[in-house]
Chain A
Amino acid sequence: MLEINILTLIYLIASVTFIIGLKMLSHPATARKGNLVAAFGMGLAIVGTIFLYRDDDGNKLHNYGWIFGGLFIGGIVGTLAAKKVKMTAMPEMVSLFNGMGGACAALISMIEFGHFAKMGYLDKIVQSYEAGEVVQDAVLTRPVPIETLLTIFAGLVIGTVSFAGSMIAWGKLNGKIKDFSFKGQHIFNLVVLTAVLALSAYLIVVVATVEPRPDPNIDDVIPKDLGSMPLLLFYATFGLAMVYGIMFVMPIGGADMPVVISLLNSFTGVAAACGGFLYNNNVMLTGGILVGAAGTLLTILMCKAMNRSLKNVLIGSFGGGNKPSAGDGGNKPQGTYKEITLSDAAVLMSYAHKVMIVPGYGLAVAQAQHACHELEKLLESKGVEVKYAIHPVAGRMPGHMNVLLAEADVSYDKLEEMEQANEEFPTTDVVLILGANDVVNPAAKNDPSSPIYGMPILEVELAKNVIVNKRSMKPGYAGIENDLFFQPKTSMLFGDAKKVLQDLIGEIKNL
């Protein structure tokens, strides 16, 4: 009994470390410590579970070899992957690890359902009763309780969707998977989702109402035979959930990827909480719900920043229905754009009073954050005021740009959030846009037919000059043309962000 009590205490401590960890993560000064605090709690909970866990009958865990083997392999691979990944590939990595968590939750559900399938969908419970003076135990059987089944199915479906979705998001972010959609896809998605839910509901009802066939031997109740039907249907549910997860992320354009990853992150949290219900395990419950709630709020905040409704993202209708019309709307006001030479750009920037840099995904792809910082220092040494304007959803994750620029040692107070930056654009001489597109697209303000209409943007056109660095005239991730590029005060500087920046630095030095 002592072990159980210690374990309860450990779980309590771990739950508190998760909360404190998340709280500390939300302040720059304590963030790193917060992560370590949460990691410490997690380690404690894992070690405690391995050695102190007792099931209802007081049995210890076994299969230690398998457990430690799994921890060892996962630990090594996880550490290596996390250490080796480039800063620009962070969002992919988070998405990948998130998928692993989802898969883990789904696997737990599979094994648990498999147990019940083996025992004929009956739950054996030991109950003590008093016979005469002595307390005796009797083994009773009952159908698997409906809430147990509910959590198993919720864990399976949510975990699987999160896994499949995260894998697709991962593939998309590293460019292995292209956007894909077909006509009526959101109807297809809805049908698949309905099928998943209907199948789960049907199975839960069938299994939860199975009657033990009465048998003279009380200890040996023969269950009504459901055959292999439930197990097959269970796997069918799993397969369909997988299809839904894939189809749900598939058509979503990269502009929505941050929202999707955040959403899937909270999904996995809920899936983990399902495990908490299943094992009556409070640390899983608190950790899972905490992440589920926080992730959902973050998702909603991000949707708001992009002026998208969560429903639209969920049904995945962005890429499907809207794309063709978006193309038409964007093509109308096409004009000519003008290019600027490197030396002109160098002159323009060196003799400016204030330069604002707007980084986007292009900066991340080109790994140009260090070159960018170098340019900033060079310009500052020439007496130019340099600041960065960070759009909340620039890049592929909220804060993506901050992380990148932090890697290059760009100072905190040079990073301006959208509202501040928009106030400063009118007094800015040159805006240098590095691989950002949709977040500076004026269509979000002027063109009600545009799919990004209403999204708050960086109003760079208020500045005196705009220099846009892009690799080509191809539309951005949302697939919409950008009027900004055709405005008279805008000039284009084509090329890979890193190379362009290095050349620009060279030119400025030569002035």
Chain B
Amino acid sequence: MESVFNWIAINQQIIYIVILMVFVGIEVIGRVPSVLHTPLMSGANAIHGVVIIGAIIVMGKAESDNYVALTLGFLAVVLGTLNVVGGFVVTDRMLEMFKNKKAQK
């Protein structure tokens, strides 16, 4: 039991971040009109592309003779970039149409 308390004490900052972020995420989504659900889902999809940061770190740390790590890391960077770039571009394309219509009004 004590070790659990210790763990919480040591990691309290991260725990705070997680809990606050959960609330922020819910708050942000809660006010979205249904018209924007698809672009929002797509935007959120692009944002979880932050996983690319992890891929870059893992790639940049890989020993240059560890070919398994290099290959997998390279693949991770490619896929992560696809997620980020593709996600933002698709979202922008969706929203572009909303904007056109707004301008016409």
- On A, residues with C-beta under 8 Å from B are 14, 18-19, 21-23, 25-29, 31-32, 34-36, 38-39, 42, 45-46, 49-50, 53, 55, 60-64, 66-67, 69-71, 73-75, 77-79, 81-83, 85, 87, 90-91, 93-94, 96-98, 100-101, 103-105, 107-108, 110-112, 114-115, 118, 147, 261-262, 265, 268-269, 271-273, 275-295, 297-298, 390, 392, 397-400, 402-403, 406-407, 409-412, 415, 417
A411 CA to B32 CA, complexed, in Å:
19
Are the CB atoms of B83 and A101 closer together than 8 Å? yes
**Which residue of A66, A83, A402 contacts B77 across the interface (Cβ within 8 Å)?**
A66
Which residues of chain A have C-beta atoms less than 8 A from B97's C-beta?
87, 403, 406-407
With A36-B92, A101-B51, A291-B48 in contact, do A31 and B81 touch (Cβ < 8 Å)?
Answer: no
Contact A90 to B38, CB < 8 A, known contacts A61-B60, A284-B51: yes
Are A403 and B48 neighbours in the complex by a CB distance under 8 Å? no
Q: How distant is the Cα of A69 from the Cα of B77 in the complex, in angstroms?
A: 9
Pairwise interchain contact B56-A50, C-beta atoms closer than 8 A:
yes
In angstroms, Cα B87 to Cα A77, docked, is 12
Q: Tell me if A90 and B90 are in contact (CB < 8 A).
A: yes
| Nearest CB of chain A from residue B102's CB, rounded to whole Å | 7
Indicate with 1 or 0, residue by residue over B92-105, a CB within 8 angstroms of chain A CB atoms: 11111111111011
Q: Whose C-beta in chain B lies nearest to the C-beta of A278?
A: B54
Q: Give chain B interface residues in 49-104, CB to chain A under 8 Å.
A: 49-62, 64, 66, 68-70, 72-102, 104
**20 residue pairs from A and B, CB less than 8 Å apart:** A18-B47, A25-B43, A35-B91, A49-B56, A61-B59, A70-B75, A70-B78, A74-B77, A75-B85, A78-B81, A100-B79, A111-B69, A277-B14, A279-B54, A281-B53, A293-B22, A398-B37, A399-B40, A406-B101, A411-B101
Main secondary structure of the interface of A (DSSP, over half): helix
Q: Is the CB of B101 within 8 A of A412?
A: yes
Q: Given contacts A397-B38, A411-B101, are A111 and B73 in contact (CB under 8 A)?
A: yes
Q: Which residues of A contact B43 (CB under 8 A)?
A: 21-22, 25, 34-35, 38
Q: What A residues does B17 contact at CB under 8 A?
A: 282, 285-286, 289
